């Protein structure tokens, strides 16, 4: 069994697939909009499957993936008369991932099949979760076990994670958050489970994010438009790390100006609060003893369920600064409580805002 240290990649060791996954997480994009994958070899593709709780070496998992593939192809043919080469109709998921990283018609076709497979697998996991007699507390325990195993292993192996905090949002916090939102449906609370990872330095944030996306949460299950990055300046990283920059310039990579994305409109966060924040529907493989309680109608849904989980990544310096002044959690909660109090009495009101401050140092201007 390989150690976390041997699997960890520094900034100059990241592959094109790594960088593209990082960009997707920071921007809050959907994998359905991808036009190509970038897996360099079968090992990288297998790693992606294992992060989803699927083992390409396990006969039952291969049969499950083949079943999802067949359903995806049937959907494409039934609804779009999509032309799928005969050789691809029996291709393993591992080979589809490799084909989607290639070129030509097979690459496009493999991408289309995998996108539909992604949706089918995701919906099956949701249906399986609803079919099992599990409480939220029991489900959360399985999530926490997976997360603690991966991140605990990183810390034990001396990787640049200095602190790891996790927990479940209490009932009062859930009530307050729902009362502060324009949407009041409980399903829209994404941070019932939330975890914060503190790295040694800002340069460690992206490598740690990469490791977690390969071992814990595959980037494909990121919740679109729920990402926030006020911590890492991609342009500055590219300037200091030529190998990283070369991946950003790859002709097959999507070309878009890199900015510090603030896609989540959290009205109560101070502008000086620095963080990489995102939400994933975390895949968790349930043990056989739990699956034994599934009704017959759910026996063909696989062994993986999905649980919404919030992650925050910060470095030590940002963690210290975030605890002070208007960026502190106490000030955040106070602004939120005041807004809820006024909303209950008076209806919707503009929330109290923290003083505006730049999240990163401004770039030096050059003379024309």
Closest residue by Cα to residue 38 from 90, 123, 110:
110
pLDDT tens digits along 256-288? 434 333 334 455 444 667 899 999 999 999 999
Residue with tokens 């810390």: 155
| DSSP secondary structure code for residue 48 in this structure | H
Higher-confidence position of 255 and 196: 196
Q: Percentage of the chain with pLDDT > 90?
A: 62
DSSP letter (8 states) at residue 31? G
Q: How many other CB atoms are there within 10 angstroms of residue 330's CB atom?
A: 8
Non-local CB neighbours of 190 within 8 Å, separated by 6+ positions: 223, 226, 279, 308, 310
Q: Is the pLDDT of residue 186 over 50?
A: no
How far is Cα 189 from Cα 22, in angstroms, rounded to an integer?
A: 24
Residue 210 CA to residue 14 CA, distance in Å, equals 8
Prediction pTM value: 0.81
Q: Is the pLDDT of residue 164 over 60?
A: yes
Average pLDDT for 98-108: 94
Q: In what order do the strands lie in the sheet with 161-168?
A: 161-168, 193-199, 304-315, 276-285, 228-229
Residues 74-86 pLDDT 10s: 999 999 999 999 9
> Is the Cβ–Cβ distance between 315 and 200 less than 8 Å?
yes
């Amino acid at each position: 069994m390989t150690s976390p240290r041997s699997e960890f990649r520094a900034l100059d060791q990241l592959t094109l697939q790594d960088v593209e996954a990082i960009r997707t997480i920071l921007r809050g994009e959907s994998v359905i909009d991808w036009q190509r994958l970038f897996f360099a070899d079968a090992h990288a593709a297998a790693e992606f499957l294992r992060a989803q709780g699927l083992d390409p070496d396990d006969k039952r998992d291969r049969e499950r993936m083949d079943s999802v593939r067949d359903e995806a192809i049937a959907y494409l043919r039934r609804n779009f008369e999509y032309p799928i080469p005969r050789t691809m109709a029996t291709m393993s998921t591992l080979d589809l991932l490799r084909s989607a990283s290639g070129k030509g018609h097979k690459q496009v076709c493999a991408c289309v099949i995998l996108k539909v497979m992604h949706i089918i697998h995701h919906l099956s996991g949701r249906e399986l979760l609803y079919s099992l007699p599990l409480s939220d507390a029991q489900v959360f325990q399985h999530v926490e076990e997976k997360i603690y195993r991966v991140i605990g292993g990183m810390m034990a192996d001396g990787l640049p994670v200095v602190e790891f905090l996790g927990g479940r949002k209490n009932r009062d916090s859930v009530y307050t958050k729902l009362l502060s939102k324009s949407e009041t449906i409980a399903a829209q609370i994404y941070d019932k489970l939330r975890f914060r990872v503190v790295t040694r330095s800002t340069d460690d944030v992206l490598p740690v994010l990469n490791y977690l996306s390969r071992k814990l949460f595959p980037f494909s299950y990121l919740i679109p438009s729920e990402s926030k990055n006020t911590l890492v300046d991609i342009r500055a990283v590219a300037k200091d790390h030529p190998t990283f920059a070369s991946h950003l310039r790859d002709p097959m990579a999507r070309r878009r100006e890199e900015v510090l994305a603030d896609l989540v409109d959290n009205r109560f966060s101070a502008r000086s609060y620095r963080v990489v924040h995102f939400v994933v529907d975390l895949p968790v493989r349930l043990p056989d003893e739990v699956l034994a309680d599934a009704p017959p109608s759910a026996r063909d849904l696989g062994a993986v369920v999905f649980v919404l989980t919030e992650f925050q990544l910060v470095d030590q310096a940002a963690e210290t600064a975030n605890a002070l002044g208007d960026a502190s959690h106490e000030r955040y909660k106070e602004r939120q409580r005041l807004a809820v109090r006024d909303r209950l009495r008076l209806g919707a009101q503009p929330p109290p805002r923290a003083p505006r401050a730049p999240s990163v140092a401004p770039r030096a201007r050059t003379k024309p």
